Amino acid sequence: MEMPPVNPVGEKDTSQPQQQWEKNPQENLDSTTQIKQQSPDPPTEILELRVSPNQASQILENSQGTEKLAAGLQGNSAKSRGSTNEMPEPLQASDLWYCPDGSFVKKIIIRGHGLDKPKLGSCCRVLAFGFPFGSGLPEGWTELTMGLGPWREGTWGELIEKCLESMCQGEEAELQLSEHSGPPFRLTLASFTQGRDSWELEASEKEALAREERARGTELFRAGNPEGAARCYGRALRLLLTLPPPGPPERTVLHANLAACQLLLGQPQLAAQSCDRVLEREPGHLKALYRRGVAQAALGNLEKATADLRKVLAVDPKNRAAQEELGKVIIQGKKQDAGLAQGLRKMFG
């Protein structure tokens, strides 16, 4: 690929005498400083989906992570041109796309044409290169349908779908992942069929797609894949949240199922929030009360955990899971009290 000529900042112009620099050193220094200050920092955005308990910390981490990914892409570009005598072309802000959740940075190698991008239902002809074995994406040419199919269930499928949503027809790009220190992966979008945005779907179509996602999520959960199940439940909820309130009753079930996945994935804060959504609609939902009690216990909120578990046992006294969890909370509370008492004795003894 031919590279456009580069005029490095600060290259001496031999057509003007050197005395001009010596005459106005401060003016030249100011102009150089101004050029440096005009380089904008690449924007980063944060999606509300899957927010960690400490949002401020996550925003900082994503910001630092995307800067490191961009630096890695620049380094790879420089290495690939190191065998020539030409100075490497600096990446422009328009050549990079930062995934809003900070999971990867996309560098455009060949620009596509047109303004349209793949949407829900678009059948994409894709060329993948460099993705690891087991990613679910075959090497070479393949066809992927946006929003449909088992290829989206794994981590790689989710990343590829996000990338494809940002690509134009004919575009070729490199992806540098935040958790991958090796060389970037390459993805080419040769063509795609016309799709639709979610807001263009009828309510009945959204509900049908949400039911499919829910059924697939339940299959994955029973197969021991809570991460894949959580993705399915999340996609179903995003479809149903666009419907006018109060929305279909399926939202309650989806939030409760999502909470179960989040507990297994070690995300008690998110699990507690999902249970809150259920209990806003159904205050007596026993599974949501139990799961929120487990989540609160994991977070160290023993009083809240005890309250939720006692509500479950008040309705269902023979609920063994709630009995066992409440017993654990009581023991944990006694240990905390004993530790506090020991600390006070040392302080005032």
Using CA atoms, how far apart are residues 90 and 246, in angstroms rounded to an integer?
51
Sequence-distant (6+) residues with CB within 8 A of 195 are 118, 119, 120, 121, 122, 146, 147
* Residue 246: CB atoms within 10 Å: 8
Model confidence at 102, pLDDT cuts 50, 70, 90, reads: confident
Query: How would you class 57 by CB atoms within 10 Å of its CB: exposed for 0-12, middle for 13-18, buried for 19 or more?
Result: exposed
Query: How would you class 3 by CB atoms within 10 Å of its CB: exposed for 0-12, middle for 13-18, buried for 19 or more?
Result: exposed
More confident residue, 315 or 149: 315
- In this structure, of 27-41, 171-185, 316-330, the range with the lowest mean pLDDT score is 27-41
215-232 confidence digits (pLDDT tens): 989 998 999 989 889 988
- 153: DSSP letter: S
Using CA atoms, how far apart are residues 253 and 208, in angstroms rounded to an integer?
15
228-284 confidence digits (pLDDT tens): 899 889 989 988 988 887 778 899 999 999 999 999 999 999 999 999 999 999 999
Q: What percent of the chain has pLDDT over 70?
A: 67
Cβ-contact 228, 210 below 8 angstroms: no
pLDDT of residue 221: 94
pLDDT of residue 272: 97
More confident residue, 171 or 150: 171
CA nearest to 130, candidates 172, 173, 185 = 185
pTM: 0.59
